[in-house]
Amino acid sequence: MAKQKFIALLRGINVTGYNSIAMPELRSLCADLGWGDIQSYIQSGNLVFKAGGSAAKLESALERAIDRRFGLSIPTIVRAAADWPAYVKGNPFPGASQSEPNHVLLALAKAPPKPDAVAELREWAAGGERVVLAGDALWIHYRSGVGKSKLTPALLDRLVGSPVTARNWNTVLKLNEMAGLPPPKSMAGDVKQRKAN
C-alpha cells in the first residue's frame, strides 16, 4: 500500500505534569508502527508522518500503541496532509489570526460535529468568542483569551459530540510547513467574518 503524508494531533499530553510523553519516545513509537519521515512539533503532541492506510485506522493504531506503551488513553485525531490546505484556507478570522494568532484556534473532532454544535457553543460564548464551522473544522476566536473562556475542552466534547482537540493559528501554519505544503496567500482583512458573529 502506497504511503502518504498525515498530520496527527494528540489531545491533552504534557499538560502541567499530566499525560507525560516525551517526543523522542512518541516518534520511536510511530517508527515501531512502520511509519516513516516522522516529525514532531513542540510538546503538545503534533506529528507529521508517512503511512499507509486510512486516517481512521491510523488514529486507532496510535491510540492503542500509546495505551500499550505508556498506559495512557489519549484521544488522537489524524488527517491526511492533503486536507490541511483546506483548513488553512478555511480560516474565517484572518485579521485576528495576524494580530493575535494565539487566540484563533482550529478545533478538529473525531466525528463530524453535531448539527447544532455551533449554535450551542455560541450560547456559551460569554467572553465574546466567535465560533464558525468550516467544513468539518470548528474555528474559535477567543477574543479574551482561552484561559477564562467557558468554551472549555469538556464543553466542546459534549456539544460537538466526540473528542475535540484544538491548535492555535501559529501551530496550524507550522504543521502546514512541516508537511511541505504551500504557505497560505496573504490573508488581509477579516473576510466579512463569514457571518461569524
User: Which residues constitute the domain of residue 69?
Assistant: 4-83
**Vertex 85: Cα angle to 81 and 73 (nearest 5):** 45
- Give residue 12's pLDDT: 84
Gyration radius from the chain CA atoms? 17
* pLDDT above 70 (res 35): yes
Residue 111 pLDDT > 90, yes or no?
yes
Residue 98 has phi, psi (to 5 degrees) of: -75, -40
- Shared domain for 99 and 185, answered yes or no, is yes
User: Which cell is 112 given?
Assistant: 463530524
What lies within 8 Å, CB to CB, of 178 at 6+ separation is 39, 41, 48
Residues comprising the chain, all counted: 197
Given 27, 51, 83, which residue is the final one in a domain? 83
Residues 119 and 62 in one domain: no
Parallel, antiparallel, or unpaired: how do β-strands 104-109 and 137-141 relate?
A: antiparallel
Shared-domain flag, residues 185 and 100: yes
95 and 62 both lie in a single domain: no
**Structure confidence at residue 188 as a pLDDT band (50, 70, 90):** very low
Distance of alpha carbon 12 from alpha carbon 75, whole angstroms: 8
Number of folded domains that form the chain: 2
- pLDDT above 70 covers what percent of the chain? 92
User: Do residue 72 and residue 167 come from a single domain?
Assistant: no
CATH number at residue 163: 3.30.70
Q: Specify the DSSP class assigned to residue 143.
A: T
| 148: pLDDT strictly greater than 70 | yes
Nearest to 140 by CA among 154, 125, 126: 125
Final residue in a domain of this structure, among 31, 62, 83? 83
**pLDDT at residue 53 tops 80:** yes
CATH number at residue 60: 3.30.70.1280
Percentages of the chain per state (helix, strand, coil), in multiples of 5: 40, 25, 40
46 or 18, which is more confident:
46
Domain co-membership, 94 together with 40:
no
Residue 142 sits in the same domain as residue 69: no
Strand, helix or coil for residue 118? helix
103 and 152 belong to one structural domain: yes
Residue 196: is its pLDDT beyond 70?
no
Q: Which residue has the cell 481512521?
A: 56
pLDDT tens-digit map of 82-108: 999 999 999 999 999 999 999 999 999
**109 in the same domain as 24:** no
Indicate whether 176 and 97 sit together in one domain: yes
Q: Are residues 62 and 105 in the same domain?
A: no
- State the distance between the two ends of the chain, measured CA to CA, in whole angstroms: 45
Could you say which of 68, 83, 98 is where a domain stops? 83
Q: Do 69 and 120 have their domain in common?
A: no
pTM of the model: 0.90
